Amino acid sequence: MSGPANAAGKVLRTLDALPDHSRLGDLARATDLPKSTVHRILQTMVAEGFVHLDEGAGRYTPGPRLLGLAGRTLGRADAAAGAEPVLQRLQQRTGATVHLAVRSGDEAVYIRKVEGNKPYRMVSRVGMAIPLHCTGIGKAILAGLSNDEVDEFGRRADLVRRTPATITDVEGLLADVAAIRRRGWAIDLEENEVGILCVGAGVRDHTGAVTAALSVSQLKSDQDGIALDALGPMVAAAAAEVSATFGAP
């Protein structure tokens, strides 16, 4: 077989192998394709956002667009093993917008959004990539890493100043992460968007690693908003429930 159908088959074989293999050689062996072919496919998928390349480690992982596609599909099928009821209950308790996101390289990607019943709406959407250093979800994910990993991330990633409150230095990020671990949840005090407050907590997978997080977002000006010190334990408890559905030990 040759032509477009054969080319599409090679791409699909590469995508199918990606969750279990992250290195070029392993992917070539798993797909039974030449390294050069797999490399060309991966280059295209990296350029289009379907695959993320950690150049330092030489590892390929699912990218934001692929995770977003998976999230939209899971949203219809409710295949997140019980996460959806937890998110719905959290939204009902808070009245605010609830998000669930997974890590994708140096970003997180929304795979769930439960809209709040407020007179305002958040601009977020499923499939959107968000930074780790200045969001409730992102900082909750970072808090699940070791200090060395956070330090490496902070020196590697571009800690862009999104608002006047954004943490843009590694030392400040490490201090904030330490506070998150002690407290049990992350707080975004207008660090990603002016006027938006967010509380996030990490979600653990079946290995115990924090690979996702959930959050509740509300306007700073919301007179009916829940105080952050009361919201934090609610978010942390919901994250623990979702972790259990993901098979966390």
Q: Is 236 helix (H, G, I), strand (E, B) or coil?
A: helix
User: Domain check: are 58 and 120 in the same one?
Assistant: no
Query: What CATH number did the domain enclosing 109 receive?
Result: 3.30.450.40
User: Domain check: are 88 and 46 in the same one?
Assistant: no
Query: What CATH number did the domain enclosing 38 receive?
Result: 1.10.10.10
**Per DSSP, what are the bridge partners of residue 27?**
none
> Do the domain assignments include residue 70?
no
> Do the domain assignments include residue 72?
no
Residue with token string 């070539």: 28
User: Domain check: are 211 and 130 in the same one?
Assistant: yes
User: Domain check: are 141 and 237 in the same one?
Assistant: yes
Cα radius of gyration (the chain): 19
User: Domain check: are 56 and 167 in the same one?
Assistant: no
> Do the domain assignments include residue 166?
yes
User: Domain check: are 19 and 128 in the same one?
Assistant: no
* pLDDT the model gives residue 72: 58
Note if the pTM is more than 0.75. no
> Do the domain assignments include residue 68?
no
User: Domain check: are 123 and 209 in the same one?
Assistant: yes
Q: What b/e sequence results for 191-212 when a residue is b if at least 16 CB atoms lie within 10 Å of its CB, and e otherwise?
A: bbbeebbbbbbbbbeeeeebbb
Instruction: Say if CB 96 and CB 116 are below 8 A apart.
Output: yes
> Which tens digit of pLDDT belongs to each residue from 49-79?
888 888 888 889 888 778 777 665 554 444 3
Instruction: Say if CB 101 and CB 127 are below 8 A apart.
Output: no
User: Domain check: are 18 and 105 in the same one?
Assistant: no
User: Domain check: are 83 and 29 in the same one?
Assistant: no
Residues of the chain with pLDDT under 50: 1-4, 75-79
Structure tokens at 9: 């088959």
Q: Which long-range contacts (CB under 8 A, 24 or more apart) does 224-227 make?
A: 224/95, 224/118, 225/96, 225/197, 226/94, 226/96
User: Domain check: are 198 and 110 in the same one?
Assistant: yes
Q: Running DSSP on this structure, what letter comes out for residue 208? A: S
Q: Running DSSP on this structure, what letter comes out for residue 170? A: H
How many structural domains does the chain have?
Answer: 2
Q: Rounded to an integer, what distance in angstroms lies between the CA atom of residue 144 and that of residue 219?
A: 26
* pLDDT the model gives residue 74: 53
User: Domain check: are 28 and 140 in the same one?
Assistant: no
User: Domain check: are 27 and 115 in the same one?
Assistant: no
Q: Is 52 helix (H, G, I), strand (E, B) or coil?
A: strand
Residue ranges making up the domain that contains 197: 78-245
Q: How many CA atoms lie within 13 A of 2 on its CB side?
A: 0
